[in-house]
């Protein structure tokens, strides 16, 4: 059984890494508005929760998603802190944003906030408030630059490693903490580091805006998944939840400036 678990961790590394790296590339190609839709759709969250369900069952997924509407909304706090102080340096901005994210997220798991109606209500208020702020940032199109296979591979390795670590830690820390880890902005952190180095602060700010606005799709995903994974099972629960996320994402994209 242990060998099967580590096989699944390895698959999460491969699938998650390629998924996110491909999404970043698509965002660069199509611009931050519609490219942000691809980046904002559930990626690390989807892969992490799927493998939590695969290794621990649907009950673990239902438990993990109980606090995630709020923990996902708190990603906006992470993104807002990063946006406001990114001119101080990317690493400093990411560190400060991580500290801010932890300050809000860890108490949720420590005190076991698991009423999804409470986490969803508060999460929507937080999301809407921060989204209104970010909606003032203009969308941009990246300048055409050569994209190498090596760059794609580096992105895949970075993201895949973090996703695999999430799955492995969720096994020992429990599904509730696994849900917290699954909501950590892995895709965002790796994206801004790589995009900023290639395109500069202006385009990066636009990417931050796009990812924050489209993060509403992840709130939709984890909420629908919470209520469907037990009656529909792992596969159909995830399919229904992802369909809901895509629908919300398209709506948000057409409504943003």
| Per-residue pLDDT tens over the stretch 202-237 | 666 677 777 777 788 889 999 999 999 999 999 999
Q: Is residue 144 part of a domain?
A: no
Q: Is residue 217 part of a domain?
A: yes
> What's the chain's average pLDDT?
78
Contact 16, 47 (CB under 8 A): yes
- What tens digit of pLDDT does each residue of 6-20 get? 777 787 788 777 877
Dihedral of alpha carbons 183, 187, 190, 192, sign: negative
Q: Is residue 247 part of a domain?
A: yes
| CA–CA distances in Å: residue 58 to residues 112, 212, 225, 229 | 19, 28, 10, 6
Q: Is residue 57 part of a domain?
A: yes
DSSP 3-state of 94: helix
Q: Is residue 73 part of a domain?
A: yes
Q: Backbone phi, then psi, for 74, in 5-degree steps?
A: -70, -15
Q: Which of the given ranges, 133-137, 223-227, 249-253, has the highest pLDDT on average?
A: 223-227
Q: Is residue 25 part of a domain?
A: yes
Number of domains composing the chain: 1
Q: Using only C-alpha atoms, what is the Rg of the chain? A: 17
Q: Is residue 143 part of a domain?
A: no
The range of the structural domain enclosing residue 67 comes to 2-138+149-255
Rounded to two decimals, the pTM is 0.77
**What pLDDT shows up at residue 146?**
56
Q: Is the pLDDT of residue 101 over 60?
A: yes
The b/e string for 128-156 (b: 16+ C-beta within 10 A; e otherwise) is eebbeebeebebbebeeeeeeeeebeebb
Q: Is residue 192 part of a domain?
A: yes
Write a three-state SS string for 132-200: HHHCCCCCCCCCCCCCCHHHHHHHHHHHHHHHHHHHHHHHHHCHHHHHHHHCCCHHHHHHHHHHHHHHC
């Amino acid at each position: 059984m242990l060998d099967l678990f580590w096989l699944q961790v390895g698959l999460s590394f491969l699938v998650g890494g390629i998924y996110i790296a491909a999404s970043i590339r698509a965002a660069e190609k199509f611009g931050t508005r519609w490219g942000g839709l691809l980046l904002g759709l559930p990626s690390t969250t989807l892969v992490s929760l799927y493998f939590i369900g695969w290794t621990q069952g649907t009950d673990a997924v239902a438990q993990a998603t109980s606090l995630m509407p709020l923990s996902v909304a708190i990603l906006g706090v992470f993104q807002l802190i990063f946006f406001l102080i990114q001119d101080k340096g990317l690493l400093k901005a990411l560190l400060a944003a991580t500290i801010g994210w932890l300050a809000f997220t860890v108490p949720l798991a420590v005190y076991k906030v698991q009423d999804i109606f409470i986490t969803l209500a508060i999460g929507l208020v937080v999301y809407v408030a921060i989204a209104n702020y970010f909606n003032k940032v203009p969308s941009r199109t990246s300048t055409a630059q050569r994209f190498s296979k090596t760059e794609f591979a580096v992105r895949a390795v970075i993201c895949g490693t973090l996703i695999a670590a999430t799955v492995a830690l969720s096994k020992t820390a429990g599904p509730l903490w696994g849900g917290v880890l699954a909501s950590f902005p892995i895709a965002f952190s790796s994206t801004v580091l790589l995009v900023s180095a290639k395109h500069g602060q202006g385009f990066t700010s636009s990417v931050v805006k796009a990812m924050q606005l489209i993060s509403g799709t992840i709130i939709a995903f984890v909420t629908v998944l919470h209520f469907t994974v037990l009656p529909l099972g792992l596969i159909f629960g995830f399919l229904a939840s992802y369909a809901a996320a895509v629908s919300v994402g398209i709506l948000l994209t057409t409504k943003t400036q």
